[in-house]
Amino acid sequence: MGTAYKLDEPIIAHLRQKKLYIVLLGGPGSGKGTQGQKLAEELQIAHVASGDLLREHLAQETPIGRAAQTYISCGELVPDGVVIAMIRERLERADTAKGVILDGFPRTVPQAKALDEILAAQARKLTLVADLKVSPETLLARLGGRWTCRECGAVYHVLYQPPRERGKCDICGGELYQRPDDRPEVQKRRIAVYFAQTLPVIAYYKERGLLVEIDGERDIAAVHTQLLAALEAA
């Protein structure tokens, strides 16, 4: 999505030579998907978003999709066993050999421990865990205005990142829709679940010296630049 700023180009060229295993943490609407898509495209590595994978399973009515449906629709976390098995299978695919941006996983300490085991078994290790820090008020404003492409998953916002043509994806021309779990009552539950269940994951990575805090309140380009700088320093 978009082109890199001139100043970012040398950093991107340098980072492309590395194997990067990156976790993006942050509340619902903090910008994990927006930043994850952009970074994966620039760094030419896989973008593995647990929410997107679960929504694909839902659409295809697979056993994983059926197991996840009720949890997603009311804003609760899908059980660890289901999500860990799904991510393990995804990380075994060939396109993850050069690196991965994990977006939305891990979300609990058992998931973080499982990720350590999966990566260790593949002789890989995490490069960086970036925590996109955003206030609950900003999260609500972002979720309320989000539109997503049904075809390619690109993310827009009515105010902060509008598509060129209303209702239509700039990239593939697909139809834009609002996620059913962005209903106001579910948004609030997702934010509460994040603060209750995912904050311990931040402490887990802080203890291991992998955590970098990113000011996620800034605009999309400024957040991106902070992420590139953190990766360059990692």
Positions annotated as catalytic residues are 32, 107, 146, 179, 190
Q: What is the distance between the terminal CA atoms of the chain, rounded to a whole angstrom? A: 24
| Binding track over 32-61 against ligand AP5, x by CB under 6 A | xxx---------------xx--x-------
Q: Which 63-82 residues touch ligand AP5, going by CB under 6 A? A: 71-72, 75-78
Residue with structure tokens 């865990």? Answer: 129
Can you tell me which of 8, 28, 65, 126 binds ligand AP5, judged by CB under 6 A? 28
219 binding ligand AP5? (CB under 6 A): yes
226 binding ligand AP5? (CB under 6 A): no
What is the size of the binding site for ligand AP5 (CB under 6 A)? Answer: 35
How far apart (Å, rounded) are the C-alpha atoms in residues 181 and 164? 25
Quote the Cα angle for 80-140-203, to 5°.
45
Can you tell me which of 20, 22, 43, 83 binds ligand AP5, judged by CB under 6 A? 83
* Secondary structure of residue 153 in the 3-state scheme: coil
Give which of 9, 11, 10 is closest to 232, Cα–Cα: 11
Kindly report the number of other CB atoms within 10 A of residue 56's CB atom: 15
How far apart (Å, rounded) are the C-alpha atoms in residues 142 and 156? 10
Q: Which 170-189 residues touch ligand AP5, going by CB under 6 A? A: 181
- How far is C-alpha 97 from the geometric centre of its chain's CA atoms? 19
How far apart (Å, rounded) are the C-alpha atoms in residues 1 and 38? 6
| Binding track over 139-158 against ligand AP5, x by CB under 6 A | ---x--xx--------xxx-
Question: Residue type at 55?
Answer: R
100 binding ligand AP5? (CB under 6 A): no
Indicate the residue among 186 and 231 with the shorter CB distance to ligand AP5.
186
For binding to ligand AP5 (CB under 6 A), which residues are involved? 26, 28-34, 50-51, 54, 71-72, 75-78, 83, 104-105, 107, 111, 142, 145-146, 155-157, 160-161, 181, 190, 219-220, 223
